[in-house]
Structures are given as structure tokens and as C-alpha cells.
Amino acid sequence: MKKTFLFNLFLFSSILTSAQNPVGIFSNHVDIGKPKIAGGTIYNDEDQSYNIKGAGYNIWFGRDEFHYAYKKIKGDFILTGNFKILNTENPVHRKTGWMVRSSEDENATHMTAAIHDDGLMALQWRTIQGAYMRDPQDEIFSKKRTSEIIQLERLGKVFIMRIANPGEPLQEVGRTDAIDMPDEVLVGIFMCSHNPEIVEEAKAWNVRIEQTVPDSHNGYQDGILGSKMEIINVFDGKRKVVYEDKGRFEAPNWLPNNKGLLFNQSGKIYTIPFSGGTPKMINTGVASNNNNDHVISFDGKLLGISSHRDGFPEGGSTIYYLPIIGGEPKIVTNKTPSYLHGWTKEGKQVVYTAQRPESGSTYNIYKKRIDGDKEIQLTHLTKGLADGPECSPDGKYIYYNSTQSGTMQLWRMLMDGSEQTQLTFDEYNNWFAHVSPDNKWIAFLSFPNTIDPTDHPFYKRVMIRLMPVSGGGAPRVIAYLYGGQGTMNTRSWSPDSKFIAFVSNSGPISK
């Protein structure tokens, strides 16, 4: 009852004023084309979702009627979200999804990625202001009327629509460059009832607007994008942003006892509560140039870090450990480069990837006691890369990623390096196997096959996927995002094995 009252009050206020009405990440929400019945948008702060209501005869012919929540944006971008039309009776052509529009004019140029209530999914557009809409380039119908993931990407003059059922990879369903859209456009979500006499409602969640860079962009040299700290429920896929910054931060770890998250930024290590706020720096002493390879021991008492030292090969990444509350770090190995990825169950040894002179440019996996014994080499590749070693909570296996079969795939081995077994066999480059605390699931990052298997660069279209620790069957997609390097380099599971934390990227380039 309270929610209905608030919604009606919000609609009433929107009729009285033509001023900007921010809602969630959108700067405004309006009715386009003066539909007979007003629509509106509500942002639900608790789960960061949107309920959008709209009437209107259609989005078609030479003019449109619908409700639109939008923001202005320049350049290339990716729009991604889950959409569901809430009324399940009498399916018709009511529709929702993403829209890119040149203006609020009822006959404006636009590009629309829509799902219709009768199952139609199509990329539709108006090439110039006042022109009739083009017939769908492709018409794809889905028998499922639950929810869909819709993505609309802009690459210069090219627009691409992709669709996925929950848990599946995105599939391209439409592409066109037949529209001359200005550099600055309106982007947002919409609802049209396809009937001027009624209002229909849709819900949208995991709504992300990601400003992108060309594939040739070098994230180390060509400037950085902003960062978002996100938490996702691995079983229902619902995401929440808990912290944002215009600069680069990376690789969250879940703090013991659900006290918040730990991450690196500008060479320092910080913690932040789940409610957000100002990050708090951890004292790491002489280790002041930390990278995104930091791991908390299974008992929650120690923090392992990788920090760079000047004058050493390959940047001098060196492994240290210190109390989780901070303090002067103790060095584990003087050999560089070494990149930490995991602790053994008892907290006496660490596992890491390293490059050593006897292996040339190849990286292999090693383990070493933190109290000074010699390191033990566990993989023996002569070319390529083995990386991301992480010990299982039961102390039996080390999970890792390796190019030894060609592409980057997930593997596991016993703690002594024996019984090396490949776990994934698909077309993606799969990195960083993170095992859940209950030892049932692996969450990992998948890059497209267009990148070098030995590389895990910044700012790519990547997926987070989930699979049983035993392997077998197709991994399930739980998140589609723009990220890569620094997104999820080390273990980031919640203690109850229901959530993981990760970083996504978006925004104007800054040096």
C-alpha cells in the first residue's frame, strides 16, 4: 500500500513540473510523445532495481509514445540489464528494453533493443528524425516469458543488440550502421504498453551503463577508466554497487566475519564496509607499491601481498605477509617476479606464479613456506603461462589456469603438483578459479577468444561464470561486465558461499 501511494505521488509530481527528475543512475524520466496516461519510474535503493510504467500507442511509424528513464552520454558504450514485463496476462506487443535516442522529440532518431511480451526480440530504429521506423532486421521469438538479459552496444556508428537467457552467454541478434546518431545521445530504459488506454509495468535490475574504450587501448599506458565495487548473489545473479571511484581500484577480498572488503588502489591496501563510505588504509610498511595479488589466510589472521621493488626484473613483484590489521611485512621470497595467489589451508605456505631464469619467459606455479624454506616448483611449462593458483578449503587441491592445452583453461592438481587435470574445455580464455568456502563451487573470469591466451588485459567484455568444483557440464554465466585485469584476481567469496565481490570499469578516460 505504501509503495503504491509513493508511486502515485511521484507520478502526480512529474505532471506538475517539466524539470529534471533524477532516478537511480538516470538524470531524468519523462513521457515521450504525450501518451494519454502518464507513466513513471521508481528506483528501489535496496536492490538497485527499477520499476518503470508506461502507456502509449507504440514506438513505431513516424512518432512514438512511451515512458523513458535516461541519461546523456558521449562516445562508445555498452548498456546491459535484466528485464521482465510484470503483467503475465494476455500477451501482446507491449515492450521494454534499452533505447538510444537523439532527443526527447516524439519523432527523434533512435535505436531500440526491445523484448516484446509475445516473445519477439528485435533491434529496431528510426534513421532520421520524422522517418518511419524500419522493420526489424531480425525477428527472434522466445517461448520463455520470464526475464531476459538485454545488451545494446555502440561502436562508433555501429549498434549491436545481444540477448541471453539467465545463465547463458550473450548472443548477437541484431547489428546495424544504418543510422547517423550524434556523438552525445540519450541512453536509457523504456516501457510502452502498445495500447494508449492502459499502463503496463516492467522491472529492470543489474542495470549498467558502461563507457568503453577501443580494443587497442592499453590500460597501463593510455589512461584509466573509473571503477565500481560490486557484490553479486551467485545463485540469483543480482548485483549491487557498494563503492565507486573515478580512478582505478582492483581485486576485492572478503574480510573475515563479514566486516567489509579489502582492495588495492594506487599501490596501497584499503578496507571499506559494505555500506560504502571512505576507504581506510592498512599499514603495509615498506611494501608500499602493492598490486592486485593480495590474499587473506583461511583463518583470517594474515594478509599476503605482492608489492613491487625498484631495480628488479619485471617490476620486482615480491611476496610478503603481515597481520590482517596491518604492520611491518615479512618477506617470503627475494626472487622476482613473484605474484601471490593463495594460502594453504594451515596458513604456513603460499602458492604463487613466478618467472625464473631457468624457464625463460615462461611463468610457472610454485609453493613455499613463509618461514624460509626453498620454493618448490609445481608446474613445468616450457612455454606459455600457468597462473592464479588457489588452494581448496579442504587442503586437497590447487586450482589454477594454464595455457598448456593451447587456450587459457582451468586446471587443478594435488598439493604436490601431481595429477594435473583440465577442468574447462570451451572457446573462452578462463582465468582465476576461486573456490567457495563450502568447497562446492568455482567462480572464474572468462575473456573472449579474441585476446592472447597469456594476457588478461584491462577493459574487455568479460563474464563471471560458475561451475561445480568437480567440473562437468556447461559453466553458468552469473555476470556480464566490462573489466578484466583487476576484476577478480584473488579469492573474493563471502564466508557463507553465497556472494562474491568484483570490480567493473566504466567512464571517461583519465591519466
CATH number of the domain that 443 lies in?
A: 2.120.10.30
> CA 420, CA 20: separation in Å to the nearest integer?
59
Which of 211, 240, 263 represents a domain boundary (last residue)? 211
Domain identity same for 440 and 316: yes
The span from the CA of 379 to the CA of 360, in Å, is 14
Nearest to 77 by CA among 208, 219, 216, 244: 208
Note whether 313 and 267 are within 8 A (CB): no
In contact, 388 and 400? CB cutoff 8 Å: yes
Min mean pLDDT across 68-82, 130-144, 358-372 is at: 130-144
Which of 211, 233, 266 represents a domain boundary (last residue)? 211
Compute the average pLDDT of residues 137-145: 59
Query: Are 239 and 177 part of one and the same domain?
Result: no
Is there a single domain that holds both residue 274 and residue 299? yes
206 and 229 both lie in a single domain: no
Neighbours of 127 (CB within 10 A): 16
Q: Is residue 216 part of a domain?
A: no
pLDDT tens track for 249-261: 999 999 998 999 9
C-alpha cell at 383: 612455454
95, 75, 60: which is closest to 214 by C-alpha? 75
- Find the helix or strand (DSSP H, E) in which 15 lies: helix 2-16
Of 211, 232, 261, the residue at which a domain comes to its end is: 211
Same domain, 494 and 442: yes
Of residues 473 and 133, more confidence is placed in 133
Tens-place pLDDT, residues 477-496: 999 999 999 999 999 999 99
pLDDT digits (tens, 9 = 90+) for 63-114: 999 999 999 999 999 999 999 999 767 667 899 999 999 999 999 999 999 9
CB 474 within 8 A of CB 465: no
Please give the angle made by the CA atoms of 59, 65 and 67, to the nearest 5 degrees. 105
Q: Is residue 479 a part of any domain in this protein?
A: yes
For residues 196 and 269, state if they share a domain.
no
Angle among Cα 503, 505, 510 to the nearest 5 degrees reads 130
The answer to whether position 9 is within a domain reads yes
| Percent of the chain at pLDDT exceeding 90 | 85
**If you average pLDDT over every residue of the chain, what do you get?**
92
Read off the pLDDT of residues 324-334 as tens digits, 9 standing for 90 and up: 999 999 999 98
Residue 35: burial class (beta carbons within 10 Å; 0-12, 13-18, 19+): buried
Residue 219 lies in a domain: no
Is 299 found in the same domain as 177? no
* Domain annotation covers residue 217: no
Domain housing 171: 2-211
Q: How many domains does the chain have?
A: 2
